[in-house]
A and B are shown apart, each in its own frame.
Chain A
Amino acid sequence: MSSAFAVPFGEARLRNCEQLNRELEALFLARETDEYRNPSPTHVPQQEMFESRFNLFRWSEPCVQELRAFVLDSVIQTLAEACELQPADLAQLQMHNHTWFHVTHYAGSFVAHNHPLASWSAVYCVRAGESLPDHPASGVLRFLDPRVGSDGYFDLANRHLRPAYALKCREIRLEEGQVVVFPSFIFHEVAPFYGRDTRITVATNCWFTESVAPKTP
């Protein structure tokens, strides 16, 4: 038994992240302004969700740089597991990223999308927002199954497949300090958030080129 057409998902948690997340939260809320807003959003913007410019990881604040190290390292670790590249090959890659933050307020959501011209994407949770028993899907990050059409026929032998093989969307309720890494081609969306507070995430798209640094012999 082996897996074919599998989609790699990486997941990691930043330990002792509470102080860092509170600093990030304060910083992001202070910059939830037009000056920092994405001036050219790819999707129709919502007043309930703020999207920053895509240069977040170029900010010099220590809390941002600490997050940058964790998130990009998680991406590297995931692709190292998923690729056949050797450590020496990985060391030759130059990593590029577009990174931004989202602040989601009551009834904010983000429509299904993927990220062309990138290979790996990641979402880190700064603040999960209120969890509501009456709205179990509130604010979940929902990944769409790329095996389009496969869920059109069910019988008793494929209705209860193990999670890795299940023919359905995958939903993740992010927790603070958690990062998920996935291929950029996977369509994903954020379900409407119904908390009375805010949900704050950082997302990154990464692409890679050969390093411009001279290779060591």
Chain B
Amino acid sequence: MTARQPTIVPLFATPFALMPTGVTAELNAALAVLLGGRTTDEYRDAGLPRDALCFRSREDLFEWRVDTVGQLQREMLGGICTAVMAVNRCTEAEFDALGVQARARFAVVRPNGCLPAMSAPMASWYGVYCVAAPAAVPNRADSGTVRLYAAREGTMFMDPANSRLHAPYSGMHHLWRPVPGHLAVFPAGILHEVALNRADADLVLVMARVRFAHPGSAVPPW
């Protein structure tokens, strides 16, 4: 090694935004009751495999005419737009001119339930909002976490000099433990899952595919 210090910058980086929202504990509690009461076939996404340990609604949550859901929608889309704007080169005026489209569903991950690996097609960004989360489980670091897969880059060659890099170069999967009231935003193409919930209470999430379009421009169907 030499005494000269290199200039090191992360290339090909993935933005992952954590956004506190203005959702109050009262609103979250009301949402938890509302969503928990709608884990029925009437609201279930019939296009997905039935899973007794994980309920996934249809992606029409933001079309519900329910005040609490409307408040959540505003908070989520506002947070997502803020995060997206923070990593964009377009001006605020250009960004403000864009129309926002979103499809959202809720998921209730029961004890021992999980959400399998997925990405979000036909969208550019993805938001995961936490309505309710169980306490962390000792010695089970990934219980109920959103795991973003680091499956894009890397090499099949490994030696001691590339196998223990520190963040953001490590190439390891990224874990986010959902916190009620918090929103995570990341590119929609990132493969992710919700790891097995090993707690004894439900994890309640709202997940939204989001995309943007110039006014009047043609947008492909969802």
What is the interface of chain A, defined by CB distance below 8 A to chain B?
Answer: 44, 107, 109, 111-112, 114, 116-118, 134-137, 142, 144, 148-149, 151-155, 169, 184-185, 187, 189, 191-192, 194
Digitize B138-169: 1 where CB-to-A-CB distance is under 8 Å, 0 elsewhere: 00011000010101100111100001000000
Complex CA gap A136/B54 in Å reads: 13
Q: Which of B51, B117, B149 contacts A135 (CB 8 A)?
A: B51
Q: Which of A155, A169, A192 contacts B114 (CB 8 A)?
A: A192
B142–A142 contact, CB under 8 A? Answer: no
Can you report 9 residue pairs joining A to B where beta carbons are below 8 Å apart?
A112-B149, A116-B156, A116-B158, A136-B49, A137-B51, A137-B116, A187-B149, A187-B151, A192-B196
Digitize B103-122: 1 where CB-to-A-CB distance is under 8 Å, 0 elsewhere: 00000000010101101011
B49–A152 contact, CB under 8 A? Answer: no
Q: Which of A111, A116, A134, A152 contacts B147 (CB 8 A)?
A: A111
Closest 8 CB pairs of A and B: A116-B158, A187-B151, A152-B189, A116-B156, A148-B152, A149-B189, A107-B112, A134-B52
A44–B142 contact, CB under 8 A? Answer: yes
Dominant SS at the A interface? loop
Dominant SS at the B interface? loop
* Inter-chain contacts of B49 with A (CB < 8 A): 136-137
What is the interface of chain B, defined by CB distance below 8 A to chain A?
Answer: 49-53, 112, 114, 116-117, 119, 121-122, 141-142, 147, 149, 151-152, 155-158, 163, 173, 188-189, 191, 195-196, 198, 220-221
* Inter-chain contacts of B155 with A (CB < 8 A): 116
* B162, closest chain A residue (CB): A116
* Inter-chain contacts of A142 with B (CB < 8 A): 116-117
Q: For residue A118, give the distance in angstroms from its CB to the closest CB of chain B.
A: 8
A152–B121 contact, CB under 8 A? Answer: yes
Q: Which of A44, A153, A169 contacts B122 (CB 8 A)?
A: A153
* Inter-chain contacts of B117 with A (CB < 8 A): 112, 142, 144, 169, 189
* B112, closest chain A residue (CB): A107
Q: For residue B141, give the distance in angstroms from its CB to the closest CB of chain A.
A: 7
* B196, closest chain A residue (CB): A192
Complex CA gap A185/B119 in Å reads: 20
A154–B196 contact, CB under 8 A? Answer: no
Q: Which of A112, A114, A152, A194 contacts B173 (CB 8 A)?
A: A112
Complex CA gap A153/B124 in Å reads: 10
Q: For residue A206, give the distance in angstroms from its CB to the closest CB of chain B.
A: 13
